Amino acid sequence: MPNYAALDLGTNNCRLLIARPALEGGRPSLRVVDAFSRIVRLGEGLTQTGALSEAAMDRALSALEICRDKILSRHVRRMRLVATEACRRASNGREFIARVRKQTGMALEIVDHGTEAQLAAAGCCELVDQNAQAVVLFDIGGGSTEVVWLARSSKKRREPLCASNACVNLWTSLPLGVVTLCEQFGGVEVTSHLFEEMVEHVARRLRPFAKRAGAEQRCANFHLLGTSGTVTTLAGLHLDLPRYDRRRVDGLWMERREVDVVMRRLVTMSFHERVSHACIGRERADLVLAGCAIFEAIRRAFPADRVRIADRGLREGLLMQMMSADQVWGSH
């Protein structure tokens, strides 16, 4: 089977996923061939200067060169390489994309907020509780946060909610992510009072969307579905993992009280304790509480008894779209 590649260059991370088509239980799926992820902090300082810094661009280019080499070595048949909030917002974002093409030969496209929300939904839909009438999907990024109200399409109300019939009824993109919020409020010494200030700051931005969503239908099985380093970190802490393990985290259900416990634990940890924890580490220690503040604002706006954790998202959405367009599963 042919190999496909999807790359997501965000405000904080550069992520590559190479996969080939597969079937799981008779349903279209992916088999991962290779993957790469590196924290590059492309959007570092962007809120202050409005532009990508030379150091940040150099870090991203170094990671992209590794991605290019992996794509070449895996003989990828088709690829889609996207850049999100940092390149959207930066005054020199398009110049950086041109520099990437010249230096690496890789053609990145800057996708808009709506496309980013749709791709995240496409990548995560398989984790939706099929007995739910609707769910709120959220993707906490480095520079923005996408929040999506997913429900069955009107023609398929009686069918289980899944990738083939899920409809993005409402969505919003908040200009807030772990990097931007951390730069505004700080991320090293975070008191409970400062944490609440961050939560309220996000909540104010979220209220108009929550008000629009208030009329949407829910049911007893309504739940949240989160995809980001924030929620996977919380899951790792909840499971007391000695080191992060995607197999145990992706698809994990967490009850409201379990999230409460691990959130309180994180807020009371010192910066040194965050640095030392295997599921956080030095690169995320100053960002994780900003992410938790965004998550907490979403939880308060959309109360739910459960949240499902997704270690998947935009890249999987890109891959599924390309494979569907090529009708690769039709040959099975």
- Pick the last residue of a domain from 111, 140, 159: 111
pLDDT at 153: 60
Domain span at residue 144 reads 124-314
CA–CA separation, 171 and 124 (whole Å): 15
pLDDT at 148: 93
Same domain, yes or no, for 254 and 176?
Answer: yes
pLDDT at 214: 85
CATH code (residue 275):
3.30.420.150
- Pick the last residue of a domain from 68, 83, 111: 111
pLDDT at 165: 47
Residues 71-94 pLDDT 10s:
999 999 999 999 999 999 999 999
Contact 130, 163 (CB under 8 A): no
pLDDT at 162: 47
- Pick the last residue of a domain from 59, 82, 111: 111
pLDDT at 235: 96
Flag whether 324 is in a domain: no
Same domain, yes or no, for 105 and 172?
Answer: no
- Beta-sheet strand order (sheet of 13-24): 27-39, 13-24, 3-9, 76-83, 109-110
Number of domains in the chain: 2
Same domain, yes or no, for 129 and 174?
Answer: yes
Contact 188, 98 (CB under 8 A): no
pLDDT at 328: 85
User: 159 is written with which tokens?
Assistant: 């069918």
Spans of the chain, pLDDT less than 50: 160-165, 332
pLDDT at 293: 97
Residues 97-110 pLDDT 10s:
999 999 999 999 99
